[in-house]
Amino acid sequence: MQNSEQGRVRKQRFQQRLNVLHVSTLHRRLKQHLPAAFNTRWTRRHWIHASLFAMIGALVATIVPGFSNAIDTPLSSHATLPLPLPPLAPGQSPYSLPTDTWHTLRIKSGQTLSSAFDELGIPSTVMHQVLQHPGTKAALTRLRPGAEIAFDMPKSGELRGLRFDRDASHRVELSLAGDQVHEKVSTRATTTRTVVTSGQISSSLYVAARKAGLTPAAVATMTDEIFKYDIDFDKDLQPGDRFSVVMDETWREGERIDSGDILAATFTTGGKTYSGFRFERGGKQAEYFDITGRPLKKSFIRMPVAYSRISSTFGARRHPVLGRMRMHKGIDYAASSGTPIMAAGDARVQFVGNQRGYGNVVILDHGKGYSTLYGHMSRFGKLRTGQHIDQGTVIGYVGMTGLATGPHLHYEFRVGGQQRNPASVTMPPPTPLAGAELAAFRAKTSPAMARIQGMEKLLYADAGAGGKAQPEAKRKGRG
């Protein structure tokens, strides 16, 4: 009650002071604007001015006291009381906050598990203890760049736990307690999406492919497997060439964690479009076919050793060792010792051993009367007679065993047991799909081709009409 009475008195005093101030101000304004009003008789014009100023003064007197209500409002009082706090641990800062003891390490290119442990100062004995746990060594010794490992390490610096992904769907958490290792496996939900991506080359294929979201492995599949027989990626590519790819991707918690095989791909260069579709037939490994069902892989590769040059062609010549004219029934490829030698085609190993002037030699039977011979090897690959091998399998290494003056490969191509010139002989065409296999192939590849055509129609419609195609890479997915 006392506080309320004091507030009312203060309000009245404030209003009185405002009234005095209003009157004084009004008197001064009138004297300035109407100096003759105080010495002469007022006219009608003087009375109008006086009334106007009086009205303004009344309005100000009405508005200003309203603010005094807030000024006169009594302030609320506050009380400060002491609050007891729990005692700090010895050596603990009063400003320290609890922190997460998990340290996540992303594996870099070329980094090993041992170097990852060394980076965090974890002894090698602890690493060996972890690797001895069943199923752990296989997962941790095949880490790919970008894989993450989390280490539970408190301030003491001792490893208390380890967390990593065993595969795309399972996360493993290991707890270390002395000599004991306890394992906890949790399942992580994943989804598979079929996506179509497209890109256009402006500077290089690799840059355009990475911009389109393709992994280095996918780029290698395009260049070294699908289109290597039709496109010379060192010489043929030009700015404006484009590609499209359909592939499966594995996603987990909004992040792409893996890419599957390329299901379909097209590549446009030099005004011509090449296509490749992945398909499995007759219990064989999956391979790529063109839109008509013909295998993209040729029956034979003409040069079974890379990084080489032809040192002696097919035909009559003076033998470099015997010194007399003699028919040379193959091609010699000069290369440094130890260069890998590849099987020219799918085959059955017919012979592995030593044959007089050929030195260490391998003979492959490709069926239908075709065979190849590889001589002067320094050593053999992992072969045995009767074994079936695929085209490109390393069968040996360049050397100079037998009658040879330097390291090289002597390569013969035989048809019905007769040597033919490997550089000019007509290679047998691969067997195309037919019948039920061709029908299954078309049913599988038609949707993929439709998606590619839809994407390219959207992106490159202007290019077909003589306009400039869009250079941006685009992706479109479907779960």
Judge whether 8 and 14 are in contact, CB under 8 Å.
no
Q: Which of 187, 213, 239 is the last residue of a domain?
A: 187
Instruction: Assess whether 169 and 240 both reside in one domain.
Output: no
Residue with tokens 């219990």: 283
Of the candidates 283, 297, 188, 200, the one whose C-alpha atom is nearest the C-alpha of residue 243 is 200
Indicate which CATH number applies to the domain containing 148.
Answer: 3.10.450.350
Same domain as 197, residue 242: yes
Domain contains 95? no
Helix (H) or strand (E) holding 284: none
Same domain, 403 and 335: yes
Block residue for tokens 């997962």: 139
Give the span between the Cα atoms of 68 and 13, in whole angstroms: 11
Write down the number of H helices and E strands in the chain.
8, 23
**CATH number of domain containing 341:** 2.70.70.10
411-450 pLDDT, tens digit per residue, is 999 999 888 888 778 888 888 999 999 999 999 999 999 9
List, for residues 279-318, the tens digit of each pLDDT value: 998 777 899 999 999 999 888 887 888 867 787 776 665 6
- The residue among 187, 216, 236 that closes a domain is 187
Same domain, 288 and 369: no
DSSP secondary structure letter of residue 108: P
The number of folded domains in the chain is 4
Pair (270, 316) in one structural domain: no
Instruction: Answer yes or no: do 150 and 211 share one domain.
Output: no
> Within 13 Å, how many C-alpha atoms sit on residue 464's CB side?
10
Statement to judge: residues 197 and 251 lie in one domain: yes
- The kind and range of the H/E element at 103 are strand 102-106
**Tokens matching residue 232:** 């010379």
Is position 148 within any domain? yes
The label of the residue with tokens 């002597």 reads 410
pLDDT in tens, 176-206: 887 888 888 888 788 888 889 999 999 889 8
Cβ-Cβ contacts under 8 Å for 117 (sequence gap 6 or more): 123, 124, 126, 127
At 190 the pLDDT is 83
Shared domain check, 167 and 115: yes
Asked whether residue 152 is assigned to any structural domain, the reply reads: yes
Q: Environment class of residue 392 by beta-carbon count within 10 Å: exposed (0-12), middle (13-18) or buried (19+)?
A: middle
Average pLDDT, the chain: 78
Alpha-carbon dihedral sign for residues 241, 244, 250, 254: positive
Q: What is the pTM of this model?
A: 0.57
Same-domain status, 167 and 196? no
Cα gap 362→111, rounded to integer Å: 38
Answer whether residue 124 shows pLDDT above 50.
yes
Instruction: Tell whether 205 and 179 lie within a shared domain.
Output: no
For strands 388-389 and 347-355, give the pairing. Answer: antiparallel
Residue 390 placed within a domain? yes
281: domain range? 191-297+467-478
How many residues in total does the chain contain? 479
Q: Is residue 401 located within the same domain as residue 317?
A: yes
Q: Does the pLDDT at position 74 exceed 60?
A: no
In three state form, how does the secondary structure of 221-248 look? Answer: HHHHHHCCCCCCCCCCCCCCCEEEEEEE
302 lies in some domain:
no
Secondary structure of residue 271 in the 3-state scheme? coil
Are residue 163 and residue 251 in the same domain, yes or no?
A: no
Domain termination residue (choose one: 128, 156, 187): 187
84 is a domain residue:
no
